[in-house]
Structure 1
């Protein structure tokens, strides 16, 4: 428990440093951004200058323009470049795999509802660019059984922009008068569209903690609208792994694959889920 608190303090320090660093924009930055304005237009270019009042955007089509901050609806980083036909838009759903989370969190105001096999229901919302909360319920009330309910919190921060992020979080739930949950930490190496996340944590029931578990997850964007997903857990020397993909359906997505384990008497259990955004673009 003390180790987790120490990691959390370090994480908060890194977050403070990264927030200060993000206020400075380099004029030599060649990263492409897509800026959506409140009048319905969008512009693609590099940010020459950025402050609290406006941004200066260098575009190829109409030259350098200045956009007032109060007219900006959203700014998204573009993956790839315009010339290599990989103008893939930012996707908030890369914050999660099948069940676990990456250290790339939701941005402020982003949110989603995730349903798996009708019974598993999760909601998540970005309070800030680095902190998100959520809640979930297992819909066992369909069978006149008491439904477990849980609440989540996650703190993330970049260490090296688009290359290394770290995070920590927790889950707290109740069922039939019992409490359960877990605390965890993770590191994500790579970008939002091609990454590997390694994590560790410990679960508890009524305040009694169990042995550590390990998590290994990966995300690879194979095309504009398709991702390969891996989400694996090692619990008491037993491996459980979700293997499959994610297909984008507009701003929603369909997740599908198999849950496999040496403990199963079958090759795998089919997984099917749907994720819907809860925020406007």
Structure 2
């Protein structure tokens, strides 16, 4: 009961502060001004709503010099509403692509890659299962979410919590460990989940992931681990092929999936199909999710 009241209170507090922030008058950009790397692009929005795409080339105390398709502009900082830098990387074909916005996960399963410090995303699985994750540091991410099933009281919704620690982070090999903790509603509430480690080999646009995790229910740990194998292959700047496949202890038939990821600079949509290899009755279960990065 106390847990449910606590969660309800957090939701109301979040809504209150969101509405308060929206109601406040927009102030000029107060973040850091930087000259970007040669491959990166900056999006600058003026206080009057005009957006410019280009690069800062010079910074003074109260002005910047910004080069865009309109030419070289000298802009007062007090007239700038927002500024963000879009990281671009060189593809295997030599083209410049914006950075993969969904590099830390396959579909449900995480990869070994981590969010950067102060990076985050909002996710939504099958419409009714939203979640959020935030990089407190480049080696520690905290996430969680809940179900929003219509007609079901908050005390009957599912809540989950997903801390993740980056153990090794490099360009071609990334190892992480974490927990998926789920509060299962019912007359006798239970806590279940998975304690896992996951490794991803390859770059952000073409990689292979292998993970192993032990399931647990109310502190009782499984004798054998479940395994996950998956990959992502970015075929163009805005499309990736993704597969996530599970092998469960004591189950002969693996759960497999294959789908496509469509993305922009800050968001992605996954469309995939799930099936069980060797099942007596063949089936394909659709999968959809949405992720927005902030």
TM-score computed with the length of structure 1 as normaliser? 0.69
The total of aligned residue pairs comes to: 218
SS in 2 for 1:142: coil
Deviations 1:200-257 (A, max 9, x none): 0101111111121001011110000000001111012331122101011452211001
Give the Cα separation in 2 of the matches to 1:88 and 1:119: 32
| 1:99–1:143 Cα change, 3 Å | same
**2:40 maps to which of 34, 44, 48:** 34
Q: Which residue of 2 aligns with 1:61?
A: none
CA shift, 1:85, in A, is 5.5
- Map of 1:223 onto structure 2: 236
Q: Contact conserved, 2:200 with 2:209, CA < 8 A, in 1?
A: yes
**Structure 2 Cα separation of the partners of residues 264 and 43 of structure 1:** 61
Match of 1:273 in 2: 289
Gaps in structure 2 of 5+ consecutive residues: 1-36, 46-51, 58-82
* Alignment partner, residue 90 of structure 2: 79
Contact 2:256 2:275 in 1 (8 A): yes
2:101, 2:266 within 8 Å by CA — same for their partners in 1? no
Q: Alignment partner for residue 95 of structure 1, among 104, 124, 129?
A: 104
In the alignment, the residues of structure 1 paired with residue 159 and residue 101 of structure 2 have an alpha-carbon distance, to the nearest angstrom, of 25
- Indicate the SS of the match to 2:225: strand
CA distance in 1, matches of 2:199, 2:211: 6
Q: Greater CA radius of gyration, 1 or 2?
A: 2
Unpaired stretches in structure 1, ≥5 consecutive residues: 1-30, 45-71
CA RMSD of aligned residues (A): 2.7
Residues 60-75 of structure 1: pairs in structure 2 closer than 5 A: 74=85
1:149-204 CA distance string (max 9 Å, x none): 01111112445x32111111111121232111111001110001100011101011
Mark the CA change 1:139 to 1:251 in structure 2 (over 3 Å): closer, same or farther. same
Aligned position for 1:57: none
Candidates 191, 206, 214, aligned match of 2:203: 191
